[in-house]
Amino acid sequence: MLGEKLKELRESNGLVQRQVAAALGVDTAYVSKMENNDKPVSRTKLKSLAKFYHVTEKTLLPFWLAEKVLTVVHNEDCATDALKIVLTEIDKK
């Protein structure tokens, strides 16, 4: 989810991974791992990525949060039921 979005942003800006890596002060392998959803992205890096790609943090935040939720519930039999409960609670607020 987030990785695909980051790759989409990079490609739509005509950039290669090493350019993103240089801008973030990380190595190219890290960028590759983020784009392949093999490495979690910290909130700090999320802010840096948003700034680098000239998008608001709010644009990337739903993807970031979705990755976190998926990490917690992905192997649970009742994941869908749990998510429905969460959505109900969010709608109450």
C-alpha to C-alpha distance for 1 and 35, rounded to whole angstroms: 9
C-alpha to C-alpha distance for 26 and 52, rounded to whole angstroms: 13
C-alpha to C-alpha distance for 76 and 71, rounded to whole angstroms: 10
State percent of the chain over pLDDT 70: 100
pLDDT at 81: 95
* Average pLDDT taken over every residue of the chain: 95
Three-state DSSP at 35 gives helix
C-alpha to C-alpha distance for 86 and 29, rounded to whole angstroms: 35
- Residue ranges and CATH numbers for the domains of the chain are 2-92 (1.10.260.40)
pTM (two decimals): 0.86
Q: Which residues contact 37 (CB under 8 A, 6 or more apart)?
A: 1, 2, 3, 4, 67
